[in-house]
Amino acid sequence: MAQRGAGARRRGGRTLAAVCSSWVGVSVLAASLIHGSYVHEFVHDGRHLLGFPCH
């Protein structure tokens, strides 16, 4: 039973990591397509929180 819970936690962690990485990639793409600083400022803190540089 403990192994089943550990597997679910690992899958959840991998899913969360994939979602976070995707969000960073999408935000970088959106910032490059939309001129101005609105998108950059919107996702700026989230990227730093996740450890991705933005400058």
The string of pLDDT tens digits covering residues 30-53 is 666 666 676 667 777 777 777 777
Judged against a pLDDT cut of 60, whether residue 2 lies above it is answered with no
Domain boundaries, the chain: 20-55
Does this model's pTM top 0.85? My answer is no
In this prediction, residue 5 carries a pLDDT of 72
Around Cβ 47, how many Cβ atoms within 10 Å?
19
CA distance 22 to 3: 28
Q: In the predicted model, is pLDDT for residue 15 greater than 80?
A: yes
Q: Which tops the pLDDT comparison, 10 or 23?
A: 10
Cβ–Cβ < 8 Å for 31, 40: yes
The pLDDT of residue 36 is 66
SS3 state of residue 52: coil
Tell me how far apart the alpha carbons of residues 53 and 55 are, in angstroms, rounded to a whole number.
6
